[in-house]
Structure 1
Amino acid sequence: MDADHHAKGYWYGKDPVQKEMAVDVLNALRDYRVSEQAMRRRTRSSMLMGEKDLLALRYLFEAEADGRVMKPKDLGERLGITSASMTTLIDRLVESGHIRREPHPTDRRALILRATPASDQEVRHTLGGMHRRMMDVASALSPEEAAVVTAFLRDMRQALDTVDDENTVDGGNTADGATGHGEPGAAAGDSQPS
């Protein structure tokens, strides 16, 4: 990350009232997101899968862990893709051996999707070490620290989820003078987290 951007607060504006600590926190959050995106690219590359493919597997793993079934339509809605794109994605994942189609347990006319055991093992092998390291870092927090971090991340998520156009002025510049290029805390090429 460019040290000059860190020193200036990047796109957080030049308001002298802003606290240096707040800018440091937002820079650290952005740096984390850059590392996370790089990890996702490495994972997709090593598993020879696209981002939507990995996300589909994640949703299938979650559904199975919760004792839920996932129909193609349900998965397509979670992924935000059309039924035609969903069919292509399913065909690709079935052909690669990552998922399988099965009859719905209560609706003879419907099919459900399940991740294969081999897919589960591949994801665990690929991501297991990284997940353990992340869990070690999170487990090292005291209960009070964990509560603060959790509240901060939830509040940041809400801040991003409730972005509106009221601060936008012509040309993509915001009322505080920062350019509207990208999202605060986002890095170029960012996409959905795991």
Structure 2
Amino acid sequence: MAERWSPQTPHEVAVMDVLRAVRAFSDAMERMHSGMKGDMDMNATDVAALRMLIMRENRGESVSPHEVARHLRISTASTTKLLDRLTQSGHLERRPHPIDRRARIVVLTDTSREAFYRHFGERLKGMRAMTMPYSEDELRVISRFLGEMSEVMDED
């Protein structure tokens, strides 16, 4: 078991403040996503899958069922059940891969996309507005920090 860390220097106190802020941000994200779970009658894994699809769609990337399984860290059998459930409820479609016709991709339906933006639209607008006062250099540092933090948190 790791021993509890107590900051000793002003720099370590600042590090602790940042980690507390990350925890508070994570808690706020969880509360925001919990609201969507209730509104759309989904479990946490369903919402996580939809978030992944929205993010990848915004980057112009397609998503295979295997990538959903890897992202959610669930088995292929669990992924099949999840995709079946989300397809049946009208949240996504399975389509042929645009290049490899033997493969399939998973795509959000217009209805699901609209529900996502209806639920998160005002919050996303608020988040964009909150970032506007920061300089481009500050935003690059924040982006790098969050990216690196995500990588550390995703390590097995």
With normalisation by structure 2, the TM-score equals: 0.78
Cα 1:126–1:104 shift into 2, 3 Å: same
Q: 2:124 aligns with which of 105, 116, 131?
A: 131
Aligned residue number for residue 17 of structure 1: 9
C-alpha separation in 2, matches of 1:63 and 1:108: 20
Cα 1:124–1:28 shift into 2, 3 Å: same
Aligned residue number for residue 85 of structure 2: 92
Q: 1:60 aligns with which of 40, 50, 53?
A: 53
Aligned residue number for residue 39 of structure 2: 46
Structure whose CA Rg is larger: 1
Percent of matched pairs sharing the same residue:
32
Question: What count of residue pairs does the alignment treat as equivalent?
Answer: 152
C-alpha separation in 2, matches of 1:71 and 1:154: 23
How much does 1:120 deviate?
Answer: 0.4
C-alpha separation in 2, matches of 1:29 and 1:76: 26
The structure that is helix-richer by fraction is 2
- Are the aligned partners of 1:63 and 1:70 in contact in 2 as well (CA < 8 Å)? yes
Aligned residue number for residue 97 of structure 2: 104
C-alpha separation in 2, matches of 1:51 and 1:151: 27
Aligned residue number for residue 146 of structure 1: 139
Aligned residue number for residue 64 of structure 2: 71
Gaps of 5+ in 2: none
How much does 1:123 deviate?
Answer: 0.2
Deviations 1:81-120 (A, max 9, x none): 2111011001100111001122334444433321100100
User: Are 2:73 and 1:80 equivalent residues in the alignment?
Assistant: yes
Task: Name which structure has the greater RCO, CA cutoff 8 Å, separation 6+.
Answer: 1
Gaps of 5+ in 1: 1-10, 164-194
Q: Trace 1:106-185 onto structure 2 (pairs within 5 A).
A: 106-157=99-150, 160=153
C-alpha separation in 2, matches of 1:43 and 1:114: 19
C-alpha separation in 1, matches of 2:119 and 2:94: 24
Q: 1:35 aligns with which of 15, 22, 28?
A: 28
Task: Give me the CA root mean square deviation.
Answer: 2.7
